[in-house]
């Protein structure tokens, strides 16, 4: 880790945080029969895969409706050509269901706004909740708040939050990168 990086969550803390988030979801959706989980492509899927694994351990008899949503073409910055489209896989109806959207970092709120637009192509849910690993509280551009938060942090606009996952980086960790 470079001198301008500060660890926010260690590998052990990432693991405990995911367990806690899964338990909070179960507390609010006993049985999960009227809830669906949707991970946002690409980075939210690492978190949603882990949460679904935890949920399957907590309630092994329940069938968990789990999908993945790509929001590339719903983004308001699509013209910048910075984003590569990923696969959307939602093999169930979200009509009249509680949708739990999962993403790694909530920053400006624009990604979640795009996800809400994209969701409407799959039906009208009864409600939508948001689960994030990191909430950058004071950087919001839209009035969007998470229901389930792993860690809330205060950051400057110039700082970056980097989430490392075993699956793509070899280890789990969340760091705050500064320009200094």
**3-state SS of 67-126?**
EEECCHHHCCCHHHCCCCCCCCECCCCCCCCEEEEEEEEECCCHHHHHHHHHHHHHCCCC
**How crowded is residue 140: how many other Cβ atoms within 10 Å of its Cβ?**
16
pLDDT digits (tens, 9 = 90+) for 148-165: 999 999 998 889 999 999
Give the pLDDT score at 83.
57
Residue 33 neighbours by CB under 8 Å, 6+ apart: 62
pLDDT score, position 84: 63
Model confidence at 56: pLDDT above 90: yes
Any idea where the domains of the chain sit in the sequence?
Answer: 10-167
Q: What is the mean pLDDT of residues 87-107?
A: 95
Count CB neighbours of 19 within 10 A. Answer: 15
What integer is the mean pLDDT of 17-21? 98
Q: Using CA atoms, how far apart are residues 133 and 93, in angstroms rounded to an integer? A: 26
The fold of the 10-167 domain, in CATH, is: Rossmann fold (3.40.50)
Q: How confident is the model at residue 3 (pLDDT cuts 50, 70, 90)?
A: low
pLDDT at 52: 97
Q: Please check whether residue 136 is in contact with residue 155, taking contact to mean a CB–CB distance below 8 angstroms.
A: yes
The 3-state DSSP class for residue 17 equals helix
Please calculate the CA angle 85-75-129 and round it to the nearest 5 degrees.
100
Contact 52, 36 (CB under 8 A): no
Q: What angle do CA 102, 113, 42 make, to 5 degrees?
A: 45
């Amino acid at each position: 880790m470079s001198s301008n990086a500060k660890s926010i969550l260690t590998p052990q803390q990432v693991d405990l945080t995911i367990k806690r988030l899964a338990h909070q979801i179960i507390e609010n959706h006993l049985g999960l029969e009227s809830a669906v989980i949707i991970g946002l492509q690409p980075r939210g899927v690492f978190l949603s895969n882990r949460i679904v694994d935890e949920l399957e351990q907590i309630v092994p008899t329940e069938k968990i409706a789990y999908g993945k949503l790509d929001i590339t073409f719903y983004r308001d910055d699509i013209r910048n050509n910075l984003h590569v489209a990923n696969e959307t896989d939602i093999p169930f109806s979200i009509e009249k269901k509680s949708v739990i959207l999962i993403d790694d970092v909530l920053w400006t709120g624009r990604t979640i706004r795009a996800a809400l637009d994209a969701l409407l192509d799959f039906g009208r849910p009864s409600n939508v909740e948001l689960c994030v690993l990191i909430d950058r509280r004071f950087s919001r551009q839209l009035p969007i708040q998470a229901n389930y938060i792993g860690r809330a942090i205060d950051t400057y606009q110039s700082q970056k939050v980097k989430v490392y996952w075993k699956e793509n980086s070899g280890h789990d960790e969340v760091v705050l990168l500064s320009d200094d």
